[in-house]
Structure formats: C-alpha cells, structure tokens
Amino acid sequence: MRRAARCVQAACPVVYAGTSGEPVGEILRDLRSAALERWQSLRIAPEAIARDGVLTVTLREEKHEVTELDAVYLEADGRRVMPDACAGNEGGEPWCEEGGARATMRAGHALRLTFRVGDSPREMRLWARGYYTPLAERAAEAPSLRSRE
C-alpha cells in the first residue's frame, strides 16, 4: 500500500484501513469551518478487508486541529454499510446518524470503526460528514486572558 501524502493546508483525520499500519489518505480535507461542513469520501482498497469479511478503519486526528464528525459510513459496491457500533443504535454513538450530535476529535484522538462487508466487494468508499478547525484559529478567536489584567 502506498503511503498517503502529508498535507499542509488540508484536513485530517488521517484514515488507516486494515492491519497494514499505513495511512490510506485523509478525509474531510479542506473543510476548515462549520460553514464548509459537507460529505466527503475516500476510496478504500478491498485488500484491507480481513478474511472474516470485516474491515477495520481508524480515523486518527494527527494535526493541531479539532475535527467535528457528524456521520460516517462505508459504501461497498453501492451498498451502505454502517459501522458495527451503530447496529441497534438508539441514541448511542453521535456519528451513526447525520444531523445529530457530533463526535469531537482533538489532536491525538483516534476512532476505530469496524464494518461487516462480507465477500470481497470490488469498490469501497468511506464517507464522512463534518469539518475541522485548526487550533491556531480557535486560539485567535478566544478572548485573551492577558487583556483582562
């Protein structure tokens, strides 16, 4: 698997699929504010699926930013596959349903998802809806404590 290019201006989280330990890319690229929130997808190679038909995907926030993840799912040969954690979900994980609460991912945070995709699909895409804010921008927006002295 080829190593994903590290971005300077684009967003993370970085996406890892399978057990290789190598990143396959980034998702929510260039969505630097809530006003830019939208769906974005990333191709996942079928070789990342384990022998038991389960795909493990890890979203890892590796940059100095905060990601707000609204929803996530996998599309396998045109069929929507929800993460296992969403099965029978009644108000559980915030990323199981679009438009609900968001999962906040801070620098160093990782979210591990498993998807039961079954027999090897030919085409897979991870879909996520959300946005991120670079921490430098958040700090600039916050009132300074020094100005109060």
pLDDT, averaged in runs of 10, over the chain (149 residues): 45 88 93 94 95 95 93 96 81 79 91 92 96 75 45
Residues 6+ away with beta carbon under 8 Å from 73: 80, 81, 82, 83, 126, 127
Phi-psi category of 148—alpha, beta or left, where left has phi over 0 and alpha has psi -120 to 50? alpha
Sign for the CA dihedral angle at 77, 83, 84, 90 comes to negative
Residue 2: its pLDDT value, please? 41
Kindly state the DSSP code that residue 78 receives in the 8-state scheme.
T
Residue 119: its pLDDT value, please? 80
Residues 107-140: b if buried by 16+ CB within 10 A, e if exposed: eeeebebebbbeeebeebebebbbbbbbeeeeee
Distance CA 4, CA 75 (A): 21
Residue 140: its pLDDT value, please? 54
Vertex 131 angle, CA 96 and 3, to 5°:
90
Residue 24: its pLDDT value, please? 95
Distance CA 135, CA 66 (A): 7
Residue 139: its pLDDT value, please? 54
Instruction: Classify 99 as helix, strand or coil.
Output: coil
Residue 141: its pLDDT value, please? 56
